[in-house]
Amino acid sequence: MEQIFDRFSPMKMEKEKDRFTVSVFGRTYTFENSFVPVSVISQGEELLAAPIELDIGFLSGKDSLKKINYLYLGADDMSAQVLASAECGNIVINATLTFEFDGFIKIEMRVSNFWCFSESPVDLSLSLSDMAKADLSSIAINIPLKKQSATLFHYWPNDKTSIIPSSTAVNSGETVAADFPFKPYVWCGDEYKGLGFWCESDRGFELDDEDRCITVSDTKDTVNIKIRMLDHMPASWQKQERDRWVDTLHPLFFTFGFQATPVKAMPKDIEDTYKRFHLYNVAGHNIYESDVIERVAQAGAKWLILHEDWTAIQNYGLPHDEEKFCQFVKKAHEHGLKVMTYFGYEYSTLAPDFSRRAEEYLIKNPDGNFTGGWQRQVPQRAYMVCYNGGYSDVMIERVKHVMDDYGVDGIYTDGTYVPWECANEAHGCGYRDENGKLHTTYPLLAVREHVKKLYCEVHKRGGIIDTHQSTCCIMPTLAFADSYFDGENIQTSIGKDINFLNLAAFRCEYMGLNMGMTNNFITYISFDKVAAISLIHNVMPRINRLALIPEIKKIWDIYDENGLNGAKFCPYWEDSTVKADKDIVASSYLCDNSKVVVFTNYSKDKAEADFDFGEGYCEAENLLTGEKYPLTNGKGTVPARFFAHNIIKVK
């Protein structure tokens, strides 16, 4: 396996005639007489309460898969492919199953009407016409998960359109019974692991109620996710009724898949993942003349991230002055800083070939219009790009140029990992229904191939990728980033109400442990408020204003001086060693002879809190102010700022 994929592990496949297993980092999938997994193990635990079921119905009644056969096309430590075939009722099902080293499974399924019978020879008393009559009435996938490890749920997008994420809808949180319209991605699990289902498009889906494409239900021990594809016989089959040798019922095509998480090992150098300063308004700070480098380096940062206006052409990697920019990067290196530069999700009207390539590269909505279109300086507009359209190679060449010729150490991407909906038929997106109406599709596979190539080129050069997305934790794409940056769309809502982003939502989407990723939480509102929510989850805020350097330096110094980076983190949902008043949420770090407690006060009616830190502790120190408070056998009262981060050391 190539060294550039060192945080992943080689894939292993074991096969028998009617059964095979695929093992990747921390996960094992088992297929046995099935087109879908009968077992999914992650982090040593079985996720499924029962085998995933391909549920197929007929007008004449239910039937099960028969004569299942596997043809193994080859496997190595990066990928494997299996052909599967079966009969069910009077249909034939064929599929191509593809497995990749990040645990990604793609199932390309074809359903054809046929007139054979598995259990007995053909009944010669029946006419060929009778046997060929369409009978299929429904197709669904049932995913039964063990309830104890299916407590959190995430779906995307969080609104009817993916183009602008809703700022008032949080699409992560506790698993509850609910119905959803088609979503290209759903995930269910807990704080450490889970299982995702993906499907690029609802093309071929025919539902009686479009708002009930996905149903989440539960029993005492099981959470079941049902994905409906057909609720009735396909309309085209109804029109024709029966198969004819010269005029067949058109096969049905469905492409979907699964991916268990986490997808890879967490990074070893934790400091490298959070000691980052993100410089917005690069042009406004005049980086070639200012003291940005010195101030950021003195704070102890390891990375300086330059936002979008470092480049004259949006998403193109062309600084206003190449010579000065190279000198800037060199100076940053001399001060011990690595530099990341922005690449995004747009194609600019200022790009040299825009007139020739816009129709091919850009996203279109069903009305034929481009999407997005921010105005940038120097004057230009930048529209949203689709990676089905050929822009992938252009962007990757620009990234290689920036790293090779300017000495940049890493890439910060904005929206690049999101498969925005697209209906641009010129490059293969969108589909038309029976009435000719154009619908959007989600080019997840194209984005996946793009970011996989991007990951390879950046890692070949010793770099890393930090990616920004909002609400979109789709692991088939996000697996090929090194870290992520989340929370932008809900900053205003959080600032108004501490309870807007509930704790389960943060554990689901913003911690990253269940993905194999590290996250920084965006800081647009008050640093105090963001830190209040993130630090109790062992997630660091990322600042984007020079004025906040003293605030973040204080936190970094506390973590360094007390050895918290290597200490055992005991999160509030598991930590029984710290007890506090209601409305106090506390997590702790266990150090050699002390304990550091980070907590948040969720009640505006209290200014202090009673704690029981555990036996043996006689003093508490506020690491933010230096104040000390006596404890009696670990018990005492300490100040508790509302909607702000609090850090106490007890010894």
What would the two tokens of residue 554 be? 């204080």
Q: What is the DSSP letter of 441?
A: B
β-bridge mates for residue 17, sequence order: none
The distance from CA 555 to its chain's CA centroid, rounded to whole angstroms, is 28
In contact, 562 and 568? CB cutoff 8 Å: no
Three-state secondary structure of 584-630: EEEEEEECCCCEEEEEEECCCCCCEEEEECCCCCCEEEECCCCCEEE
In contact, 486 and 507? CB cutoff 8 Å: no
Q: What's the rounded Cα separation, in Å, for the pair 544 and 296? A: 11
- What pLDDT shows up at residue 575? 77
Q: Hey, what amino acid is at 69?
A: N
Overall size of the chain counted in residues: 651
Q: Identify the burial level of 434 via C-beta atoms within 10 angstroms of its C-beta, where 0-12 means exposed, 13-18 middle and 19 or more buried.
A: exposed
- What pLDDT shows up at residue 120? 47
Q: State which residues of the chain have pLDDT below 70.
A: 1, 115-131
User: Which residues, in sequence order, are CB contacts of 547 under 8 Å at separation 6+?
Assistant: none
- What pLDDT shows up at residue 169? 87
Model pTM score: 0.96
Give 209-215 contacts, CB < 8 A, sequence gap 24+: 210/181, 210/182, 211/179, 211/180, 211/181, 212/179, 212/180, 212/181, 213/180, 213/181, 213/182, 213/183, 214/155, 214/179, 214/180, 214/181, 214/182, 214/183, 214/186, 215/178, 215/179, 215/180
- What pLDDT shows up at residue 115? 64
SS3 276: strand
- What pLDDT shows up at residue 62? 84
- What pLDDT shows up at residue 127? 53
Q: What's the rounded Cα separation, in Å, for the pair 564 and 561? A: 8
If you search the block for the tokens 């120190």, which residue do you land on? 621
What would the two tokens of residue 223 be? 């959470």
Q: Identify the burial level of 478 via C-beta atoms within 10 angstroms of its C-beta, where 0-12 means exposed, 13-18 middle and 19 or more buried.
A: buried
Domains defined along the chain, listed by start: 3-121+137-261 (2.70.98), 270-343+391-417+445-559 (3.20.20.60), 570-650 (2.60.40.1180)
Pairing of strands 483-486, 19-24: unpaired
- What pLDDT shows up at residue 121? 47
Closest CA to 280 of 258, 303, 300, 310: 310
Q: Hey, what amino acid is at 288?
A: Y
Q: How many helices (H) and strands (E) does the chain have?
A: 14, 41
Q: What's the rounded Cα separation, in Å, for the pair 358 and 350? A: 11
**Mean pLDDT in the chain?**
94
- What pLDDT shows up at residue 118? 46
- Cis amide prior to 157 (ω within 30 degrees): yes
SS3 130: helix
- What pLDDT shows up at residue 240? 87
Extended strands (E) in 25-65: 27-32, 39-42, 45-46, 53-58
DSSP per-residue codes, 284-338: HHTTTTSSHHHHHHHTT-SEEEE-GGGBSSTTS--BS-HHHHHHHHHHHHHTT-E
Closest CA to 498 of 469, 466, 533, 468: 533
What would the two tokens of residue 259 be? 């991916």
User: Which residues, in sequence order, are CB contacts of 482 under 8 Å at separation 6+?
Assistant: 7, 267, 273, 464, 465, 466, 518
Report the run of H or E that residue 61 belongs to, with start and end. Answer: none
Q: What's the rounded Cα separation, in Å, for the pair 50 and 474? A: 24
